[in-house]
Structure 1
Amino acid sequence: MSTHAYRRLPVSLLLAGLCGFASAQAADHAPQPQGVSGGWTGDIAANLPLADRGGEETQAKILPRADGGFYVSWFDNTDGGYDLRLQRLDAEGHELWPHNGIVVADRTYNSTTDYGFSVDAAGNALLSFQCCTQQAADERIVVAKVDPAGNLLWSGGRVPVSTVGEGEQISYVTATGDGNAVVVWMNDSGLGRAQKLDPNGAPLWGATGITLPGPSGLKFVADVIAAGGNGDAIVSWSNQAGSTRILRAQKLAALDGAVLWGTDGVRIADTGNLSAGYFPKMRSDGAGGAVFAYSDFIGLVSYARVQHVAADGTRLLGASGTLLTTGTRSHLQTQAHYDAASGDVYAFWVDTTVITPNSYDGLYAQRVDTSGVRRWGEEGRELVPMTVSTDGTEALSQLVALPAPGGFLATWVTGNTSVSNNPIRTVRLDVDGQLQWARAARLKSRLTHTSRLTGATSTLGYAAFTWSDAPTNTSSELNVLGQNLQYNGMPGDTLFRDGFDE
């Protein structure tokens, strides 16, 4: 069967499936007096517009809901101040709230920093962010909770977690397995801080939260994830003493935030130095531990690594993790998917080198098994050959790794900000590193800038992506667009294409 073929189903089964699917969706949908709009499209020249109010709309994030749909968040500077907005999509990509979403926070900031986004077991969205007047005396890190109908649940719409005058910017939040939420941030003193909130927004780790212990130096908080179902959480940060940034992680106990991986936490690798402004993300292993895939430097050369930290803090892939490739070029922008069923890590990265006056970029992928063995050769599987990119046309960036049956999806953007055409492409690889489609799938066809690409997987078995797109290639007019992709490489219809039931 062609990978683009339609799968025939018995009429009785088809009708039963449609009724069951519709009932499941209707039961969880909020009332929609204005009617739903949008929907995933098979036309990549007309991607789904999620935010198009006219000003800059950027830094979108997308997370799956249990019903097969998604939440999408972003910053909107149309009215000034980079307000935080949120939209809910059903499994077919229809907007369930008014077009351009709801306002989570009206802010007065002239720039953006990273923010936290999570979904709890009840289907509520959690967001952590700076609020709400830049450099005001009461500026804080706050957490908002939004229910599936679009209601802000806590008094005043948000709960402050940092203390007045502490100073803070970047924060992250995760829903924990005990029904609560943990938020982490870095303050102006260079300390990593954390707080846990119950379902009503009440603090659980003291009135002002806890401070992460560990080696001296700045703690650039990078991420936080739930560590299993008992309410523990894992926080990662880069610890900088002098000019070296070391990636570390710590597990925080559910009850009081006590550290469980020793006072200093776990150093992810005994070698390497993270670059400034780089915050590599963790992935839960589903068993109380975390998986890391990232790039770091030794001297002027960047290496791509993967590490698996078990629930007890043991580094399962050795003191320095496993290198994804033994090639001699620099390896940057590493992204990965962790397959909890097999314990394998699927990763890809950009290889880059400069042979004056030309720059060369290439794209490579690797599978690392539970023993740390590189299964796709010592240098990995080549996806895009090294290409001259002195004008930026063939530069590679914005990598996104997502699961696919028996392998993973690798998605990337071609062309840097110096050129107007930034296509988005995806390939699917199987467990042996073999390409599953005759050619890379395209997610957009308009000749416009692409920035802040991100993606997520529907619980119904397909991928969805969001990005900021400049219709006139002007950053002040960025819109947020979305596009889905089936496991057969086709956009659009989420019910009947081959791959839905894989």
Structure 2
Amino acid sequence: MRAILSVFVLLAYGVPCFSQWSGNPAVNTPICVASSFQDLPQLVSDGNGGAIIVWVDGRNPPINSNGDIYAQRIGANGFVQWTADGISVCGNGVTQNRPQIVSDGNGGAIIVWEDLRNNINANDIYAQRINSSGVVQWVANGVPVCTATAKQDRPMIATDGAGGAIITWYDYRNNSALANIYAQRIDANGTALWTLNGISVCPATINQIDPKIIADGAGGAIVVWSDNRSNTQSDIYAQRIAGSGVITWSTSGLGICVLGRQQWAPSIAPDGSGGAIVAWADQRDTISVPRTDDVYVQRVDSNGNRLWAAGGVPISTGAGNQMRPIVLSSGDGGAIISWNDTRNGSSNRDIYAQRVGSSGSIIWSANGIPICTASNDQDWANPISDGNGGAIISWEDERAGGTSRNVYAQRVNANGAVQWTANGVATSTASGYKSFSQILPVGTGDAIITWGDERSGSDDRNIYAQRINANGSLTSVRFAEESPSSISLEQNYPNPFNPSTRIRFSVALGNGRRGESSDGLFSEEKVLLKVYDLLGREVATLVNENLSAGSHHVQFNAQGLASGVYIYRLTAGTQSISKKLLLTK
């Protein structure tokens, strides 16, 4: 009997020779250049080497007054896949704001946003699902996630692993001056599964704000937030919610850090074992005013046990301010953290990063390694995995001076050595101001970056994107000579594993023409990747589709299987390769 599995497929596709991506950082690829403003982009993988990008859009009357929600899909080759300038996700004549997006696991996405349709003075939360063709799947203009009294702010979203999503936000229904944290699960059909208008994640009566969320790998989620229950300071709390909507840790949340002075701006990443790693800005070490921030981090397991030093591990406690930490799982139970840093001068923010091991040990240089220390400010660092134990970090950069604000990126390997040009590769240097940049991993070591762009004028902000390759080049061209000549299957990593492991493979060309079919495009091959038990019974199909030539990977989550040895088999055409993997629980 086939086990019911939670299988997350993240395919890193080979990229066609003929590409729309620009190799010139002053050009880039336009996602939306409609009139008025487009802002606050977010992006998620389309499962096919490209991305789905969502943003707030002011094109509709009254122009520049109301924001609607639009989205566009861009393929791995840099060509937009849907209607020029994007498709409308929600455009009901009132303001929608702050969209967030997560994959639906089927090539589409679920998008959530703040919405003023019911009260122009109080946001509600709405959501919409869009398929890979750009067709909305739920009620026009979205389904209500929460329409409780007062306002609901800053929704954040994570997959539930079953085609739906878990959404969290902070909510003023209980007190117009004090927010609490709420959450709701919505299934693949747009039906809310938990209590109407959401469950209370934290019932404490004092302000809780700035929630962040990750999937727990078991149909639920872990939420972290800033918490003022001590009255005089902000602390960091977290809660795990089961897929059924049941709170699984302490009723009022687990104190991640409840020391003196301020702890704030939490960031969260999965630890790979059902728990989480949380980073935050921390003022515990500063007595004088104005106080400065340091960066701390803590790991918590799936049962709510804090695994590292009480109060957290210091990541950077040097001179100046260390602000806006963002944490990224390093794939081995540890993390890579990046942040903004003023150690080199209060008017010269730089980008630094640190790696911490699974036991909480500091791996790179004390107080972090410099990612960028160019002149003027570098801000809003965003790290993603490079697929090989390191990270790609993007940021907004003012080294050019004047009113220019550009986008740069750097790759750092697992040992803390930067891999690209010193102080980063210029991703966008077109005239004007760039803001709200976001980055997405595609393939192994490649990335797509998107941002709001004022090259057409400050009153006409648009959305642009750029692909950057693992070697730091901007074009996505991979010539035919780089394509594999036969199928190959790598050993899964990690192995043994629990419950998730990555399987890498490559596929050959189907027509023997070194990368081109008769119409000049890359050929495709029907590929199967399946998992069997030792009795030969199929327990999972990970891939069953046509794939272009190149390297690919899939994430196999064996949550529903028993411990033991399994066989995974790759088949393409007449060729087949098998290997063993070991699940330990």
Q: How far does the alpha carbon of each residue in 1:447-475 deviate from its partner, in whole angstroms, 9 at most, with x for none?
A: 3211101101114651110011111551x
Q: How far does the alpha carbon of each residue in 1:229-259 deviate from its partner, in whole angstroms, 9 at most, with x for none?
A: x31111222112334222211111112x111
CA distance in 2, matches of 1:369, 1:287: 14
Equivalent residues of 1:68, 1:460 under 8 A apart: no
Deviation at residue 161 of structure 1 after TM alignment: 2.0
Which secondary structure state, in structure 2, belongs to the residue aligned with residue 95 of structure 1?
coil
What is the aligned partner in structure 2 of residue 16 from structure 1? none
1:67 aligns with 2:43: no
Deviation at residue 273 of structure 1 after TM alignment: 5.4
1:419 aligns with 2:402: yes
Which region of structure 1 is more displaced relative to structure 2, 39-48 or 138-147?
138-147
**114, 122, 134: which is aligned to 2:98?**
114
**235, 240, 244: which is aligned to 2:233?**
244
Q: Check 1:65–1:97 CA distance in 2 against 1; reply closer, same or farther (3 A cut).
A: same
Deviation at residue 108 of structure 1 after TM alignment: 4.5
Which secondary structure state, in structure 1, belongs to the residue aligned with residue 140 of structure 2?
helix
Deviation at residue 379 of structure 1 after TM alignment: 2.4
1:57 aligns with 2:38: yes
Equivalent residues of 2:273, 2:333 under 8 A apart: no
User: 1:115-194, aligned counterparts within 5 Å?
Assistant: 115-133=99-117, 135-136=119-120, 140-188=124-172, 189=175, 190-194=179-183
Query: Which one has the bigger helix percentage?
Result: 1
**453, 456, 478: which is aligned to 2:461?**
478
Which region of structure 1 is more displaced relative to structure 2, 397-406 or 58-67?
397-406
Gaps of 5+ in 1: 1-19, 26-36, 388-393
Q: Check 1:168–1:108 CA distance in 2 against 1; reply closer, same or farther (3 A cut).
A: farther
What is the aligned partner in structure 2 of residue 308 from structure 1? 299
Q: Check 1:410–1:100 CA distance in 2 against 1; reply closer, same or farther (3 A cut).
A: same
What is the aligned partner in structure 1 of residue 315 from structure 2? 324
Equivalent residues of 2:19, 2:477 under 8 A apart: no
Deviation at residue 151 of structure 1 after TM alignment: 1.5
Q: How far does the alpha carbon of each residue in 1:19-51 deviate from its partner, in whole angstroms, 9 at most, with x for none?
A: x969xx9xxxxxxxxxxx983221212100111
Gaps of 5+ in 2: 1-12, 484-549, 553-585
Equivalent residues of 1:65, 1:459 under 8 A apart: no
TM-score for the superposition, normalised by structure 1: 0.83
User: 1:346-495, aligned counterparts within 5 Å?
Assistant: 346-352=336-342, 359-385=347-373, 394-404=376-386, 405-415=388-398, 419-439=402-422, 440-459=424-443, 461-474=445-458, 476-495=459-478
Equivalent residues of 2:439, 2:447 under 8 A apart: yes
Deviation at residue 501 of structure 1 after TM alignment: 5.3
Which secondary structure state, in structure 1, belongs to the residue aligned with residue 153 of structure 2?
strand
CA distance in 1, matches of 2:152, 2:280: 25
CA distance in 2, matches of 1:441, 1:136: 43
Equivalent residues of 1:183, 1:196 under 8 A apart: yes
Equivalent residues of 2:146, 2:196 under 8 A apart: no
Q: Check 1:91–1:66 CA distance in 2 against 1; reply closer, same or farther (3 A cut).
A: same
Choose 1 or 2 for highest CA Rg: 2
Q: Check 1:131–1:379 CA distance in 2 against 1; reply closer, same or farther (3 A cut).
A: closer
Equivalent residues of 2:97, 2:115 under 8 A apart: no
Equivalent residues of 1:176, 1:182 under 8 A apart: yes
Which secondary structure state, in structure 2, belongs to the residue aligned with residue 443 of structure 1?
strand
Q: How far does the alpha carbon of each residue in 1:95-115 deviate from its partner, in whole angstroms, 9 at most, with x for none?
A: 1101111011115556x7533
Deviation at residue 179 of structure 1 after TM alignment: 3.5
Q: How far does the alpha carbon of each residue in 1:257-281 deviate from its partner, in whole angstroms, 9 at most, with x for none?
A: 1111111222222336557xx7533
What is the aligned partner in structure 2 of residue 216 from structure 1? 205
Q: How far does the alpha carbon of each residue in 1:335-394 deviate from its partner, in whole angstroms, 9 at most, with x for none?
A: 232112x22322222221597xx734333221111122222222222233485xxxxxx0
CA distance in 1, matches of 2:93, 2:120: 10
Which region of structure 1 is more displaced relative to structure 2, 143-152 or 459-468?
459-468
Percent identity reads 24
Equivalent residues of 2:468, 2:476 under 8 A apart: no
Aligned partner letter, 1:402: I
Which region of structure 1 is more displaced relative to structure 2, 485-494 or 138-147?
138-147
What is the aligned partner in structure 2 of residue 227 from structure 1? 216
Equivalent residues of 2:349, 2:379 under 8 A apart: no
Q: Check 1:368–1:187 CA distance in 2 against 1; reply closer, same or farther (3 A cut).
A: same
1:295 aligns with 2:281: yes
Which secondary structure state, in structure 2, belongs to the residue aligned with residue 151 of structure 1?
coil
Equivalent residues of 1:139, 1:165 under 8 A apart: no
Q: Check 1:151–1:386 CA distance in 2 against 1; reply closer, same or farther (3 A cut).
A: closer
Q: Check 1:154–1:417 CA distance in 2 against 1; reply closer, same or farther (3 A cut).
A: farther
**234, 244, 250: which is aligned to 1:262?**
250
CA distance in 2, matches of 1:335, 1:348: 6
Which region of structure 1 is more displaced relative to structure 2, 92-101 or 206-215?
206-215
Q: How far does the alpha carbon of each residue in 1:307-361 deviate from its partner, in whole angstroms, 9 at most, with x for none?
A: 2221111222222221112423221122232112x22322222221597xx7343
Q: Check 1:187–1:365 CA distance in 2 against 1; reply closer, same or farther (3 A cut).
A: closer
Which secondary structure state, in structure 2, belongs to the residue aligned with residue 305 of structure 1?
strand
Q: Check 1:498–1:270 CA distance in 2 against 1; reply closer, same or farther (3 A cut).
A: farther
Which region of structure 1 is more displaced relative to structure 2, 462-471 or 155-164?
155-164
1:99 aligns with 2:84: yes
Which region of structure 1 is more displaced relative to structure 2, 447-456 or 291-300?
291-300
Q: Check 1:315–1:63 CA distance in 2 against 1; reply closer, same or farther (3 A cut).
A: same
**316, 329, 335: which is aligned to 1:338?**
329
CA distance in 1, matches of 2:238, 2:58: 34
- The count of corresponding residues between Structure 1 and Structure 2 is 455
Q: How far does the alpha carbon of each residue in 1:203-238 deviate from its partner, in whole angstroms, 9 at most, with x for none?
A: 22133331223433112142222110x311112221
Q: Check 1:38–1:218 CA distance in 2 against 1; reply closer, same or farther (3 A cut).
A: farther
CA distance in 1, matches of 2:456, 2:260: 41
Q: How far does the alpha carbon of each residue in 1:278-312 deviate from its partner, in whole angstroms, 9 at most, with x for none?
A: 75332222322122223232340201122222111
CA distance in 2, matches of 1:377, 1:324: 10
Which secondary structure state, in structure 2, belongs to the residue aligned with residue 155 of structure 1?
coil
